[in-house]
Amino acid sequence: MTNIPDNMLAIEIVSKGNSGKFQPTQRKIPIPKATEVLVKVAAAGINRPDVMQRQGLYPPPEGASDIPGLEISGTIIKLGNQVKTLRVGDKICALVTGGGYAEYCLADERLCLAIPKGFSLIQAAAIPETFFTVWSNLFNRAGIIADETLLVHGGTSGIGTTAIQLAKNFGIRIIITAGTDEKCHFCLKLGADAAINYHTEDFVKVIKSITEEKGVNVVLDIIGGDYFPRNLKCLSEDGKLVQIAIQKGPKSEINLLPIMLKRLTVTGSTLRSRDLGFKENIADQLLKNVWPLFESGKIAPVIYKTFPLTKASKAHELMESSQHIGKIVLTIN
C-alpha cells in the first residue's frame, strides 16, 4: 500500500497582474471524490492559460483548485470509491481543471489516458491540453477534412506544433505564421506546407498568393486583436475562423460585409470550463484517432525545455518571451 504523506509541495500565486508571482508552499494533499483519482505527479505541462491565471485574467472555474496547471502525468496512488477502470499503480496523463503545479493532483477517471507506448512521463505531460484543444476545435468545431487548407498563427507554440502534426497526418494542407525565419524553418521540417514570417511578410498577401486568391478553409487563431479583420480576408468562401486565445487582446473592429458575402463562420471556445461529458468525448476521440499515431511514431509533442517545479516562475518567463518552440514542462521528483 502506498504511503501517502499529509502535505505536499505546491506552487501558489501570491500576487496577480503582469508582475504576478509564484511561491512554493505546503498544502494538504487533496482527497479524491467518487470518480477521481489521486496522482503522484511526475510532470506538468505549462500553457498560456496558466500565464493568464497568474496575471489575474483567467480565474479557475468554481470548484477547481487555485493552484495552476491543466495537464499532468504520473502514477495513480489512490482511487475514489466509484472509480471502475483504473488501478493504483497505473501510469497516466490527464487533463485537469487546475492543481497540476504540485507533487500530487486530482484527476477525474474519465480524463485519465494511458501513457502512449514508448513515451516518457515528461512527453506524456505535454499531450492533454493542446491535443484536446486542437482536436476539438479543428475536427469537431470547424469540421475540417482532408484536402482543405488551414492557417494557424503561432506555428511554434504548443498549439501550433500540435496542429501541424495533426493536419499533416489527416491530409490537411497547413500554413503557419511565426516570428523568425528559424521558427518558420522548424515548422516546415515538422510538416507545414508553407510558413510565413509575420515580421517580414504580410500574411494576408502571402495567403492570397499561395491559394491563388481562394483563401483558406479554416483559420485557427491564438492572437486576436487586430488579427481578426486580417483573418477574415484570408478565408475562402464558407470559411471558418476559430478563435481559441487572444494574446493581442479581445477587441477589434469588424467589417460585417465579408462575413455576409463569403458566408463566413466566426466561432471560438475555451476548454477549461466545459463539462466532464464534453471532455470525455474528446478523450475517447483522441484514444481512437491520435493514440495510434503516437504509438507508431508518426507524431509526438515537441518539448523545448523542462524546469523543476520550484522554478515555475522561470518557466513562465520563458513562455512569455515567446523564444520557445513547442512545450515547456515542469518536472517533479
User: According to the model, what pLDDT value does residue 15 have?
Assistant: 82
Specify the CATH architecture of the domain 7-127+272-331: Alpha-Beta Complex (3.90)
What is the chain's mean pLDDT, rounded? 96
Q: What digits encode the pLDDT tens for the residues 146-204? A: 999 999 999 999 999 999 999 999 999 999 999 999 999 999 999 999 999 999 999 99
Determine the pLDDT at residue 271: 94
Extract the C-alpha cell encoding 310: 520550484
Angle between helices 128-135 and 158-169 (to 10 degrees): 50
Of the candidates 104, 71, 153, 107, which has an alpha carbon nearest to the alpha carbon of residue 329? 71
Determine the Cα–Cα distance for residues 264 and 39; give it in Å rounded to an integer: 44
CA distance 301 to 326: 7
Whether 130 shows a pLDDT value over 90: the answer reads: yes
| CA dist list (Å): 235 to 89, 128, 220, 240, 247 | 48, 29, 11, 7, 21
Q: Hey, how many other C-beta atoms are within 10 angstroms of the C-beta on 288?
A: 9
HSE (side-chain half, CA atoms, 13 Å) at 188: 10
Average pLDDT over residues 11-30: 87
CATH number belonging to domain 131-268: 3.40.50.720
The distance from CA 102 to its chain's CA centroid, rounded to whole angstroms, is: 19
Is residue 207 within a helix (H) or strand (E), and if so which, with residue range? helix 203-210
Predicted confidence band of residue 3 (pLDDT cuts 50, 70, 90) = confident
Can you give the pLDDT at residue 252? 94
- Decide if pLDDT at 254 tops 80: yes
Stretch 17-43: mean pLDDT: 92
Contact between 41 and 100 (Cβ < 8 Å):
yes
Question: pLDDT band at 19, cuts 50/70/90?
Answer: low
High-pLDDT (> 90) share of the chain, %: 95
Q: Within the chain, which residue ranges are assigned CATH 3.40.50.720?
A: 131-268
Distance CA 114, CA 90 (A): 8
Give residue 95's pLDDT band: very low, low, confident or very high (50, 70, 90): very high
Is the pLDDT score of 33 beyond 60? yes
Residues of the chain with CATH 3.90.180.10: 7-127+272-331
Does position 47 have pLDDT exceeding 80, yes or no? yes
pLDDT at 333: 78
Mean pLDDT of 95-118: 98
pLDDT at position 278 is: 97
Convert the pLDDT of each residue in 286-296 to its tens digit.
999 999 999 99
Q: In this predicted model, what pLDDT tens digit does every residue of 48-77 receive, in sequence order?
A: 999 999 998 899 999 999 999 999 999 999
Say yes or no to pLDDT of 282 above 70: yes
DSSP H helices in 63-145: 121-125, 128-135
Q: Is the pLDDT of residue 225 over 80?
A: yes
